[in-house]
Amino acid sequence: MLKLSNISKSFPGVRALSGIDLEIRAGEIHALVGENGAGKSTMIKIVAGAYQPDSGDIEYDGARLHNITPASAKKAGIHVIYQEFVLFPHLTVAENIYIGHERRGKLGLVDHRQTRRDAAELLKRLGVEIDPDQLVTDLTVADQQMVEIAKALVHKVKLLILDEPTAVISGREADLLFARLKALRQEGVAIVYVSHRLEEIFQIADRVTVFKDGERVTTADISSVDRNKLISLMVGRDLKDIFPPKRARADTGKVVLKAENVTVNGRVRNASIELRAGEITGLAGMVGAGRTELAMGIFGGLPMSSGTVTIDGQPISHMTPAVAIAKGIGFVTEDRKSQGLAMQLDVAANVTAASLIEITRNGLIDHGAEDAIAHQEIAKYKIACRGPATPVATMSGGNQQKVIVARWARTNPRVLILDEPTRGVDVGAKTEIYKIMNELALQGMAILMISSELPEIIGMSDRVVVMREGVVSGELTGAGINEQAIMSLATQHMAA
């Protein structure tokens, strides 16, 4: 279906792709893996017409393509679903599916009834029950993803490319997505699947291609490689080197934060949790279990209808983010782009955002002091960038995440809450973030890590608290921290 021959692409000071040869077959799911900056996104954008290659040939569906544009790519049946969906939230599902291709009557006017009927037929083909008249803003993220795929079907998709499709879904929602992709594969659609979650690669892919430093390392049948082999090809490390050795568990670690009987209306019910100095506590559970809502209630980002939060033995009567920060709580949010980073600002401004008093002189920011701090943090956390003035929007996900961690670590918090700390981050950057977490715990910080990745929970946690349907369903320690025990607590039936 798609054949790339000797594709190269450079940007000022950076060679993004170097002599890439790649074949994608009709009726296969072809996984594309590699660290951030390996060249995956550049290749996708060349195929989609967003970039033009500096050299090389592209053959698609038996014909050579020249000067591809996004419009011509879609017309040819090439459709890309990016990690950030391209949807209009205040239009209906049907309007989003057919935007730019509206069904029209004899007078050229939009035929809304036919548009709804055709949208319903496409959604039925995907096997999902979504009301075509529903506003996209009211849909779950998983359903929004199905709307994106339905948009592709409008163009009679032949090549479907998905960039980190499960970055914002997991569990049953991810399983439903996989089922839809397998159905499309049966129809002869060629699917390119980009993901950092290696367990998904083995679950869904037929073949896998590894990119590293702008070059194709290898392409192999998925049955011929294992997780260790893929990691070694991607970053030159074995799986055993990903997670740092666990520290000796301090059973006598002081309880820094204690939350008791926390209720966040409609989301969390009578949940209690303790965080201890020098300990990483994993908070596990399925999507929708209430993990983020519990953390936000503790931090003051969501109002608690009942319950108490005690820090160093002192009850906090009315928790707000400002009070939480003043009491030594930091929060690295799940969505770094919309909630964690000021995307239009540079590294220096983002690193110092939570400690402006440190660089303020007579009511004005001392940019010299700001840059000096940024230089220190860039070196300390090995943040790959050109310097303090680098816009964070131009950086990889892993380096963006390290900027946020550096910001909160600078405030010397007693407690650091990390919500999905390695979401959308490559294996190499994950390893560095894990080392940072370990070092902070060794310094006596109490860390609460929310994660949907079981290997991460098992590999990093001294203690694991599991939630189910807004309730804490159990706690695991030591050898009791294993996948079976976590899943049992995460999926067990909860009494009303």
Q: What is the pLDDT of residues 170-226, one digit of tens each?
A: 666 677 778 888 888 888 888 899 887 777 888 889 999 988 878 888 898 998 888
Contact, 297 vs 273, CB < 8 A? no
Task: Give the pLDDT confidence score for residue 37 in this predicted structure.
Answer: 65
What DSSP letter does each residue of 252-291 carry, written as one string? T--EEEEEEEEEETTTEEEEEEEEETT-EEEEE--TTSSH
Would you state the CATH architecture of domain 2-237? Answer: 3-Layer(aba) Sandwich (3.40)
Q: Tell me phi and psi for residue 13, to 5 degrees.
A: 80, 0
Task: Give the pLDDT confidence score for residue 199 in this predicted structure.
Answer: 79
Q: Is 252 a residue whose pLDDT tops 50? A: yes
Mean pLDDT of 405-416: 83
Task: Give the pLDDT confidence score for residue 494 in this predicted structure.
Answer: 47
Q: How far apart are the first and last CA of the chain?
A: 53
Predicted confidence band at 280 (pLDDT cuts at 50, 70, 90)? very high
CATH class of 255-491: alpha beta
**Between residues 167 and 78, which one has the greater pLDDT?**
78
Residue 461 has, within 13 A of its CA and on its CB side, a CA count of 31
**Between residues 61 and 228, which one has the greater pLDDT?**
61
Q: What distances in angstroms separate CA 406 from CA 37, 285, 367, 375, one per listed residue?
A: 21, 27, 18, 11
Domain spans of the chain? 2-237, 255-491
CA dihedral 322, 328, 333, 337 (to 10 degrees): 70
Task: Give the pLDDT confidence score for residue 448 in this predicted structure.
Answer: 95
Task: Give the pLDDT confidence score for residue 446 in this predicted structure.
Answer: 93
Separation of alpha carbons 386 and 391, rounded Å: 9
How high does pLDDT run on average in the chain? 82
Separation of alpha carbons 243 and 236, rounded Å: 15
Looking at 227-241, 280-294, 359-373, which range is the least confident one? 227-241
Q: Is 241 a residue whose pLDDT tops 70? A: no
Mean pLDDT of 372-395: 84
Task: Give the pLDDT confidence score for residue 496 in this predicted structure.
Answer: 38
Q: Is 313 a residue whose pLDDT tops 90? A: no
The proportion of the chain whose per-residue pLDDT surpasses 70, expressed as a percent, equals 91
Nearest CA to 208 out of 28, 61, 57 is that of 28
Separation of alpha carbons 97 and 384, rounded Å: 39
Q: Could you check whether 2-237 and 255-491 share the same CATH topology?
A: yes
Q: Is 273 a residue whose pLDDT tops 70? A: yes
Task: Give the pLDDT confidence score for residue 153 in this predicted structure.
Answer: 74
Predicted confidence band at 469 (pLDDT cuts at 50, 70, 90)? confident
Q: Is 30 a residue whose pLDDT tops 90? A: yes
Predicted confidence band at 11 (pLDDT cuts at 50, 70, 90)? confident
**Between residues 21 and 38, which one has the greater pLDDT?**
21
Nearest CA to 374 out of 398, 396, 399, 394 is that of 399
Task: Give the pLDDT confidence score for residue 173 in this predicted structure.
Answer: 67
Residue with structure tokens 């979504």?
Answer: 130
Contact, 310 vs 477, CB < 8 A? no
Looking at 138-152, 278-292, 472-486, which range is the least confident one? 138-152
Task: Give the pLDDT confidence score for residue 114 in this predicted structure.
Answer: 83
Q: Is 238 a residue whose pLDDT tops 60? A: no
Task: Give the pLDDT confidence score for residue 242 in this predicted structure.
Answer: 67
Q: Tell me phi and psi for residue 228, to 5 degrees.
A: -60, -40
Nearest CA to 332 out of 221, 251, 451, 226 is that of 451
Contact, 208 vs 220, CB < 8 A? yes
Highest mean pLDDT among 104-118, 194-208, 259-273, 414-428: 259-273
Mean pLDDT of 361-379: 84
The dihedral built from the CA positions of residue 100, 105, 109 and 115, taken in this order, carries a sign that is: negative
Task: Give the pLDDT confidence score for residue 276 in this predicted structure.
Answer: 93
Looking at 152-161, 232-241, 372-381, 386-395, which range is the least confident one? 232-241
Separation of alpha carbons 266 and 290, rounded Å: 9
Query: Residue 241 carries which DSSP code?
Result: G
- CB count in 10 Å sphere of residue 274: 18
Q: Report the helix count and the strand count for the chain, using DSSP H and E.
A: 16, 22
> Which residues, other chains included, contact 370 with Cβ-Cβ below 8 Å and sequence gap of 6+?
348, 349, 352, 359, 388
Task: Give the pLDDT confidence score for residue 261 in this predicted structure.
Answer: 92
Mean pLDDT of 473-482: 88
Mean pLDDT of 90-113: 80
Q: Is 270 a residue whose pLDDT tops 80? A: yes
Q: Is 248 a residue whose pLDDT tops 70? A: no
Predicted confidence band at 345 (pLDDT cuts at 50, 70, 90)? confident
Identity of residue 82:
Y
> Which residues, other chains included, contact 245 with Cβ-Cβ below 8 Å and sequence gap of 6+?
none
